Homo-oligomer: A and B are copies of this chain.
């Protein structure tokens, strides 16, 4: 007995249109329809440029480029998570200056055959991550590209505060971390090994959860330097050591780790993409429990882990 097959000619080839069919201006209209503009936005999307309030008389600005296959894979991450991640890593950079994010500009490059729904979910992810910190998506650009490409710029306001730079650490300071270390890298290693769990590690790769309140908190606590951990703790703290002209000594037993054992320590030291915040604080600072003291600043140069000088490591986009 043969089962009659459905008449394929009556079945639509697919149910969603792609962005090539919708066209640039149709896509812009769809992507901006659900945007709401916060009180800092004087001119939002739709003109030659946005106008965003900078009440402090200065603006903090940072920009990242994310490329499919390099920063995310569409078979491992959905568009919503990619949007959350792209926004998060830029918002974290603004927060790491001690500033409050106000606005995001998004350049979106995609093949013409990308489904419109994919782009809509991406925008929802960008929007919802912005909402966590009260920032608005105020503009951007849409172009055709061979792979999904995201260029995100975040703006922020310092509200009269001095920016928290990488160059302010002094010998005697404590080194402390707030947020997760090595979780995203663990998730990526699991995916590369063909494994699908534990889900909290996979999710950490797909979507970082920077503790955004850490920026204002570090300012209140008198931090001397701050950054967000994007390339790995040792590499990023190495930037503070170098910019401040000091040595940083880390104690591996003090690190928050994604799992017990040597892999956990390795991932906490070298894994990027969680966007924890790492900073230096005057020695007598009483840190709340959300911050973990992981080392101290001494005279010298470079970075040591348990007394051994640490060589180059972490993430280099070309190596």
Question: Contacts of A43 on B, CB cut-off 8 Å?
Answer: 97, 163, 165
State which of B67, B103, B227, B316 has its C-beta within 8 Å of the C-beta of A145: B67
A38 interfacial contact with B, CB 8 Å: no
Known: A65-B143, A109-B149. A51 touches B42 (CB 8 A): no
Q: Assess whether A65 is in contact with B107, with CB atoms less than 8 Å apart.
A: yes
Q: Assess whether A58 is in contact with B71, with CB atoms less than 8 Å apart.
A: no
Report Cα–Cα, A25/B99, bound state, in Å. Answer: 25
Report Cα–Cα, A146/B64, bound state, in Å. Answer: 16
State which of B19, B55, B62 has its C-beta within 8 Å of the C-beta of A139: B62
Q: Please, which residue of chain B has its CB at the minimum distance from the CB of A153?
A: B153
Q: Assess whether B317 is in contact with A24, with CB atoms less than 8 Å apart.
A: yes
A124 interfacial contact with B, CB 8 Å: no
Report Cα–Cα, A47/B317, bound state, in Å. Answer: 17
Q: Assess whether B23 is in contact with A49, with CB atoms less than 8 Å apart.
A: no
Q: Please, which residue of chain B has its CB at the minimum distance from the CB of A235?
A: B25
Q: Assess whether B46 is in contact with A62, with CB atoms less than 8 Å apart.
A: no
Kindly provide the distance from the CB of A254 to the nearest chain B CB, expressed in whole angstroms.
Answer: 24
Report Cα–Cα, A163/B48, bound state, in Å. Answer: 10
Report Cα–Cα, A23/B167, bound state, in Å. Answer: 23
Question: Contacts of A243 on B, CB cut-off 8 Å?
Answer: 46-47
A191 interfacial contact with B, CB 8 Å: no
Report Cα–Cα, A109/B65, bound state, in Å. Answer: 7
Contact with B along A21-41 (1 / 0, CB 8 A): 011110100000000000000
Report Cα–Cα, A151/B243, bound state, in Å. Answer: 27
Kindly provide the distance from the CB of A65 to the nearest chain B CB, expressed in whole angstroms.
Answer: 3
A14 interfacial contact with B, CB 8 Å: no
Q: Assess whether B61 is in contact with A23, with CB atoms less than 8 Å apart.
A: no
Q: Assess whether A52 is in contact with B58, with CB atoms less than 8 Å apart.
A: yes
Known: A65-B145, A140-B63, A153-B105. A318 touches B51 (CB 8 A): no
Q: Assess whether A63 is in contact with B142, with CB atoms less than 8 Å apart.
A: no
Question: Contacts of A166 on B, CB cut-off 8 Å?
Answer: 46-48
With A43-B97, A47-B165 given, name 20 new contacts (CB 8 A).
A20-B318, A20-B319, A24-B317, A24-B318, A46-B243, A48-B96, A48-B226, A49-B60, A51-B97, A51-B158, A51-B163, A53-B57, A55-B57, A61-B105, A61-B155, A65-B145, A67-B109, A67-B149, A105-B153, A142-B317
By a beta-carbon cutoff of 8 Å, the part of chain A in contact with chain B is 19-20, 22-25, 27, 42-43, 46-67, 69-71, 93-94, 96-97, 99, 103, 105-109, 112, 138-147, 149, 151, 153-156, 158, 163, 165-167, 226-228, 243, 316-319
